[in-house]
Amino acid sequence: MEVERKYLLAARPDGLDGHESGRLEQGYLALDPAGAEVRVRRKGDKHTLTVKTGAGLARGEEEVTLAAADFDRLWPLTEGRRVLKTRYLVPLDGGLTAEVDVYEGALDGLLTAEVEFADEAAAHAFAAPAWMGEDVTGDKRYANQRLATDGRP
């Protein structure tokens, strides 16, 4: 189970480039209007296939490692359903991390941050720093699968 809140940033946080980062390429193989998705992702030399179920604050998530050759075979099947971004890992109080995503291509200029929690109580108790902006958790327009298919809201 993944418990996560998502925020829409108005601007790049100060010092963002000083944090650990990596480029992500993710494409969707199957999408269900109820929120289920099957995606492939490449981050550096790591390749994964992920199945997510549900929508909102808490979702089911299963992830398996893919060989690069398997990723390369599946990637063309995601044409028209892709998201490209650079993810920055920004430490927060309480040992939490904000995953700040800076999108590319058709989504250029879009900035979001996600924070994962151990449980729903911790997610509800979280007070986001002001730079994180509007809480868009559960807003389907900002789900990566919707961004991949419909573009920027």
Q: Which two tokens stand for residue 74?
A: 């599946």
Contact indicator for 88, 99 with CB cutoff of 8 Å? yes
Q: Is-catalytic flag, 28?
A: yes
Annotated active-site residue in 7, 28, 88, 142: 28
| Residue 144: CATH number of its domain | 2.40.320.10
In the prediction, which pLDDT does 111 show? 98
Q: What is the mean pLDDT of each run of 10 residues along the chain (153 residues)?
A: 94 96 97 90 97 87 97 98 98 96 96 97 96 95 94 93
* Closest listed residue to residue 24, CA positions, set 36, 6, 40, 4: 40
pLDDT of residue 142: 96
CB 2 within 8 A of CB 11: no
DSSP string computed for 15-42: TGGGS-EEEEEEEEEEE-TTS-EEEEEE
Compute CA distances 152 → 14, 41, 43, 72, whole Å: 24, 20, 22, 26
- pLDDT for residue 34: 81
* Structural domain harbouring 24: 2-150
* Cα→Cα distances 42→6, 83, 84, Å: 21, 11, 10
pLDDT tens digits along 41-82: 999 999 999 999 987 888 899 999 999 999 999 999 999 999
The predicted structure's pLDDT at residue 92: 97
Report the pLDDT value the prediction gives residue 55, as an integer from 0 to 100: 78
Query: Strand, coil or helix: what is 72?
Result: helix
Structural domain tally of the chain? 1
For 86-107, b where at least 16 C-beta lie within 10 A, e where not — what string? ebbebeeeeeebbbbbbbbeeb
